[in-house]
Amino acid sequence: MAHACGVDFGTSNSTVGWQRPGQHALLPLEDGKSTIPSVVFYNADEEQFSYGRAALTEYLAGYEGRLMRSLKSLLGSGLIDGQTEVGGQALPFRDLLGKFIGELKRRAEQAAGREFTQAVFGRPVFFIDDNAAADKQAQDTLAEIALSAGFTDIAFQYEPIAAAFDYESTIDREELALIVDIGGGTSDFSLVRLSPARARKADRRSDILATGGVHIGGTDFDKYLSLAAVMPGLGLGGLLLNGTEVPSAPYFNLATWHTINLAYTRKAAEQLKDVYREVRERDKFARLIDLVEQRAGHWLALQVEAGKIVLSDSPTAQLSLDRLTPPEMIHLSREQFHTSIAPLISNVENTVVRLLSDAGVAADQIDSVFFTGGSSGVSLLRQRIAAVVPQARQVEGDLFGSIGAGLALDAVRRFS
């Protein structure tokens, strides 16, 4: 059995894989499940941290505290060197990431019954688009955090390549595969030659024809659905007495997972009160202020995310926003959702087209498209990618587990 593990630290969910003969690679991390939401909650009432589903449960139960999600999105951004107030004290974001990575390691070791000091971490093709220095800084920061959490040997693998390794373990002939990984924070792609024979090679660089990615993912879909369908009811797009639009910054902060806490600062609260005196539709803006005073931004984002998930399978969804004053039921349609994210999907589609062009591969040469990542189920996205490679067979992997399983395979090759 391998002594190294694969760590898929995701924007929305995380897994840890450990390769063992005849057994499923992913380790149970919470309540018997192999996935754990990438969430940290500081419970001020009990003065302790909780993680994953337990963190979300405590937050939704109304405990005083601070919820933090999409921490991965901080990597490579200026916010990574910032801090947030937790329990009346300033806690650096780096330390929060360290707490979560350390918790992943602890739970994986508990499930495996052994210590893990070596790990292959998954990473997006680009943490940051069009900025090589920031991208390198993001990987270096994650490496530093992993070392501080107790790992001693760390390697990195592109997440779509890891997913390709997992898919390769299921096929019986050679394929040219387009791997499509739509995660919480990024969309990543790889074009890889796969086969049972190639899987035995230690060096796979010649099999990777191209990789590409764009900083668009499921949390962006949440954001633009929220801005289109929910935030107008809180005053977004309204006018001030002087005829100019209400400032949009509070709405964007509340619609973006990793900036929600910025709406709760004292300075932000004072700015909202200043704007309230100048708005025409005070009833709507008062609902925004009430939401912020409740610190219910994460609750609202969770409702929008749940609606998005429903719309992946159903033509309509309902959001019961019972914490608003007054409570409101919002009806969502798949068409409305697709319209809100259409520019994002076009960007993703263009990235795939460029990938094929960079590799010098024609669309009809692709044998299969392998989908993974929790946000790859969005129907508009699948339709647009199918239009790019219409003759390719579509295969759905474990949307939340293929990367972690592939990283576990890679860990054996690198550290055995």
All structural domains of the chain, each given as residue ranges with its CATH number in brackets, are 4-173+398-415 (3.30.420.40), 219-338 (no CATH)
Question: Is residue 406 helix, strand or coil?
Answer: helix
Angle, alpha carbons 372-375-376 (nearest 5°): 45
Question: Strands across the sheet with 65-69, in order?
Answer: 48-51, 39-43, 65-69
Of 292, 235, 246, the closest CA to residue 266 belongs to 292
Q: Print burial letters for 286-317: b (CB count within 10 Å at least 16), e (below 16).
A: bbbbebbeebbbbbbbbbbbebbbbbbeeeeb
Grade residue 1 by pLDDT with cuts at 50, 70 and 90.
low
pTM of the model: 0.90
Q: Please write the tens of the pLDDT for every residue from 292-326.
A: 999 999 999 999 999 999 998 899 999 999 999 89
Of 401, 184, 382, the closest CA to residue 301 belongs to 184
Question: Is residue 331 helix, strand or coil?
Answer: strand
Task: State the Cα–Cα distance between residues 176 and 195, nearest whole angstrom.
Answer: 9
Between 127-131, 212-216, 279-283, 352-356, the lowest mean confidence (pLDDT) is in 127-131
Is pLDDT above 70 for 114?
A: yes
Q: Print burial letters for 211-249: b (CB count within 10 Å at least 16), e (below 16).
A: bbbbbbbbbbbbbbbbbbbbbeebbbeeeeeeeeebbee
Is pLDDT above 70 for 350?
A: yes
Q: Please write the tens of the pLDDT for every residue from 34-63.
A: 999 999 999 988 889 999 999 999 999 888
Q: How far is CA 318 from CA 91, 263, 285, in A?
A: 37, 26, 22
Q: Please write the tens of the pLDDT for every residue from 256-270.
A: 998 998 999 889 999
Q: What is the mean pLDDT of the chain?
A: 94
